């Protein structure tokens, strides 16, 4: 089974890195350029996991988390935050909004893949 991931980041470079890394590990990745674009694509992608940045135009990552959690079909879909932010306050806010986990950029390819596999229950390796 190929797992679908919706990856939301306003940086074209970061979207490319995420797509390459996850694509190499047999994930089907759909990219969105900001939170509003990501939520617009949610039903079309029907993701097994959402990966989102925090600081983005139009709709930030907190809005993404709340939008995913507020959608009945995706209320339990894992949402991982991938961001340069690392403050405890922002992490608490993300957790209270419903984020599943928090990864700080720059990311290590294998660490990112490992976290996603663990969250999805996909065997490592």
Distances (CA, A) of 52 to 33, 78, 104, 123, 125: 10, 11, 11, 23, 24
Q: Is residue 88 part of a domain?
A: yes
Q: Is residue 100 part of a domain?
A: yes
Range of the domain at 96: 4-120
Q: Is residue 108 part of a domain?
A: yes
So what's the pLDDT on residue 59? 96
So what's the pLDDT on residue 24? 95
Q: Is residue 68 part of a domain?
A: yes
Residues of the chain with pLDDT under 50: none
Q: What is the CATH number of the domain that holds 44?
A: 3.40.50.2300
Number of domains in the chain: 1
So what's the pLDDT on residue 1? 78
- The pairs formed by 96-100 with CB atoms below 8 angstroms and a separation of 24 or more are 97/62, 97/65, 97/66, 97/69, 98/65, 98/66, 98/68, 98/69, 99/65
Helix, strand, coil shares of the chain, percent, nearest 5, are: 45, 20, 35
So what's the pLDDT on residue 125? 62
Q: Is residue 125 part of a domain?
A: no
So what's the pLDDT on residue 11? 96
């Amino acid at each position: 089974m190929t797992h679908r991931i919706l990856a939301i980041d306003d940086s074209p470079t970061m979207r490319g890195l995420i797509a390459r890394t996850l694509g190499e590990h047999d994930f089907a990745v759909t990219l969105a350029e900001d939170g509003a674009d990501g939520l617009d694509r949610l039903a079309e992608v029907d993701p097994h996991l959402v990966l989102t940045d925090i600081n983005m135009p139009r709709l930030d990552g907190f809005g993404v988390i709340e939008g995913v959690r507020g959608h009945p079909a995706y209320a339990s879909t894992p949402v991982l935050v991938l961001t340069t932010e690392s403050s405890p306050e922002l992490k608490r806010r993300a957790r209270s909004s419903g984020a599943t986990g928090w990864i700080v950029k720059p990311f290590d390819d294998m660490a990112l893949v490992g976290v996603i596999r663990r969250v999805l229950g996909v065997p490592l390796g």
